[in-house]
Structures are given as C-alpha cells and as structure tokens.
Amino acid sequence: MQTIKQSFKVEYSYSVFFTQYLFEPSNPLLADFFKTFNEQGFQRKALVVVDEGFSAHQIDLADQIQSYFSTSIPNIQLAPNIITVPGGEASKNDPQLFDLLVQAIDVYGIDRHSFVIGIGGGAVLDLVGYAAAVSHRGIKLIRIPTTVLSQNDSGVGVKNSINFNGKKNFLGTFAPPIAVFNDLTFLKTLDDRDWRGGIAEAIKVALIKDKGFFEWIEERATALANRDEPAMAYLIHRCAEMHTDHIAGGDPFEFGSSRPLDFGHWAAHKLEYLTDFQVRHGEAVAIGIALDCVYAQKIGKLSEADLNRILDVLNKLGFDLYHSKLSENDKVNLRNGLQEFREHLGGRLTIMLLERIGLGVEVHELDPDIIAESVDYLESLKIIHSI
C-alpha cells in the first residue's frame, strides 16, 4: 500500500478601509486600491451588484459609480449594467437571484483576474459573495457594506451564503474578500431599525471578549440609539477590529465546532425563520443574546447583576426582547433550532454562554425546560414594561 500525504498553507490578506463619500471624485481611496492591479496583459473587468433598498436612497449612485470608474479607474472595464437585487433576507431566499448573478458573470466575461463588487447590506453581500466564490472557482470579491450590521460584522468576515430548504446559510463558502470599504455616510440611508440592529453584533462581541467595550456601549446607549454618528463610527471600527482579530487568531474556516462569534445566534436564526424574517437579523440577535443570558443566570453561570446590566443596555437601545413566536407550539419550534444549529456546526452542539461580562464559556448541552423558563422570563419582562 502506498500513501501520498499532502499539506500546504494558503495565506490570505485583505484590508478593511474606513472612509466617507467613497465615490466622490475627490476621494482617491478606491482608485489607489485598483492601481495595485495594473499588470500588463490582462483586461480586468468589474461587475457591480447593488442592494436595491440602498440604491433607492441613492438615486445618483449608478451615475456616480460609472463616472468614478471612467475618470479615476480607467484600467478597469466596468460591466455596462449595474445589477440591483432585493435587499434583506429575500435576496438569500430566492435561487433565481443567484442564477441571475452567475449569468451576469458569464455574459460580461468576469474572469478570475476580474472583480465582483457587492454594495449593500449583509444579506446581499452574502449572496454576491457566494456567486463570486463559486464562479470560475473564485472571483475577486470587493465588499462595500451599507448597514451597521454589515460594516461591523458580516461584511468584514470570510463567509458567504444563501438559504436553502428553510435553513439559514445552508449553502455557502469560506472565501475572503480582497478588500472591504466602509463608508460612514452610507449609514444615513438607514431607518432606525437597521441603525439599531447592527449594534446587537457589537454587544455580542463585547460581551464575550471585551468588558471595557461593553462598558463603553453601556455609557453611550442613549447616544447610539439617537444616531450619534461619531459614537457609531467608533463602535463600527472597534467591532470590525475585534471580528477580524478573531478570524486571524482562531479558526477562520470553522473546521472545529467552536464558534464564539455565534453567541446568541442559535435562537436568532430560528426566530428569523419563525417570523418569516419580519424580525431582522440584528433584532433577532438581541433577543438571542437576552435569552442565552437569562439561561446562563438560571443555571448559575451569570450573576443577576450582570444579567440586569445586559438587559438594561438592550432596552435602552430600543430592542424588543421577546416575540410571541418564541413561545409558539409550546416552544417546540424554538427548541428545534438547537438541532438545526447542531447540524450546521457539524454534529456537536457548542453554545457560548456568559460567565461574566467580557468572558464566555462553551457548553455542549442546553436544558429544554430551562430554555422554556428563560422564554417565559423574557415574556414576563415585556408584560411588566408594557404596564
């Protein structure tokens, strides 16, 4: 018997840029980035895909992009059509949109030396990234996130996905972008729900990794809820920094079962589906964090004082911490989310719970009865607040 053992490493490197007015002629950031792709012998091209919810607030966006490329990036041939796709989770639920993007990549000759540029919220970036990753076995991806949630979390990571058969992110890839451009001015288009929603991911990473960052959010919860832009700029930068540090220092392609950045997400993913995505991702994460923190307090891991601080911050930011779908069918529907999360992880359930603010601990079992008690507790808080 003969055996060949193969082993190699692939190094990934990409930058997350922070800027304003990205497509203004006076801003050279994007043009300077593309100057690093000036090799002779290639006609590099770029296909732009935009979240239509975002483009509706930026009526001159297509003209700005086309003008910027023609005057500032002449070495890149822009595809003649800028494609728009629905924003939000609808973009990941419709396989025809995936087919549309792959077709466009083919028609416009977007090859491995070329670029796919996604502009939009996290769901649109997931879709665009997945189409880019599987076309020609991988096309260079540039992400331009337009929401708090995508600028501080999903848009700066290495995952791309679409939904399948009622399961979130069932089809997907680990494929890092070659660059991320965060433009603070794009956040002006957000409604209050999406402005607030992205803060949930910052709370998540602060709770498991950085008590000082949580206390910073705690002190500025009212300002953040009232759309204080300098505070939000710092929150996004710090949260993105913590996410990229985690990816670089841990298990970026998730070969293991440990996924600490999914704190609060097992219930959040299920709640999104149970509400037909009427509850948005950040809102669901806030509820998931609250649920898991109540659970941790009930089993003696988290102090009541820390629990109350966490729930108080979430309330000050304006999050609802209970939804009736949590209790539906005697909470069986929610608990089914645990099994789906187990399958998504690869067979072994690993859930992050808090021991204290700033320190998480992994567990491999959750008691269904205590989950139910935790749901009831959140419902009782909602009743109290509504009186």
What CATH number does residue 138 fall under? 3.40.50.1970
Q: What is the pLDDT of residue 347?
A: 64
Query: CA 147 to CA 121: how far, in whole Å?
Result: 5
Alpha-carbon Rg for the chain, nearest whole angstrom, is: 21
Query: CA 172 to CA 170: how far, in whole Å?
Result: 6
Q: What is the pLDDT of residue 248?
A: 79
Same domain, 177 and 125: yes
Contacts of 78 (CB under 8 A, 6+ apart): 45, 46, 48, 65, 66, 69, 70
- The total domain count for the chain is 2
Q: Do the domain assignments include residue 303?
A: yes
Same domain, 30 and 116: yes
Per-residue pLDDT tens digits for 158-207: 899 999 987 888 999 999 999 999 999 999 989 999 999 999 999 999 99
Predicted TM-score (pTM) of the model is: 0.89
Same domain, 200 and 181: no
Average pLDDT of the residues of the chain: 91
- What is the DSSP secondary-structure string of 40-76? TT---EEEEEEEHHHHTT-TTHHHHHHHHHHHH-TTS
Domain residue limits at 126: 15-189
Per-residue pLDDT tens digits for 220-241: 999 999 999 999 999 999 999 9
Query: CA 135 to CA 133: how far, in whole Å?
Result: 6
Query: CA 12 to CA 1: how far, in whole Å?
Result: 36
Contacts of 279 (CB under 8 A, 6+ apart): 271, 272, 287, 323, 325
Q: Do the domain assignments include residue 218?
A: yes
Per-residue pLDDT tens digits for 326-379: 999 888 888 888 887 777 666 678 889 999 999 999 998 899 999 999 999 999
Same domain, 168 and 266: no
Same domain, 114 and 158: yes
Same domain, 297 and 171: no
Q: Answer whether residue 387 shows pLDDT above 50.
A: no
Same domain, 52 and 122: yes
Query: CA 343 to CA 345: how far, in whole Å?
Result: 5
Query: CA 17 to CA 152: how far, in whole Å?
Result: 12
Taking Cα atoms as reference points, which of 138, 128, 41, 43 lies closest to residue 83?
A: 128
Tell me whether strands 77-78 and 45-51 are parallel, antiparallel or unpaired: parallel
Same domain, 298 and 265: yes
Q: Do the domain assignments include residue 246?
A: no
Q: What confidence tier does 301 reach under pLDDT thresholds 50, 70, 90?
A: very high
Q: What is the pLDDT of residue 60?
A: 92
Q: What is the pLDDT of residue 8?
A: 83
What mean pLDDT comes out for the span 250-278? 79
Q: Do the domain assignments include residue 120?
A: yes
Three-class secondary structure of residue 359 per DSSP: strand
What mean pLDDT comes out for the span 273-301? 95
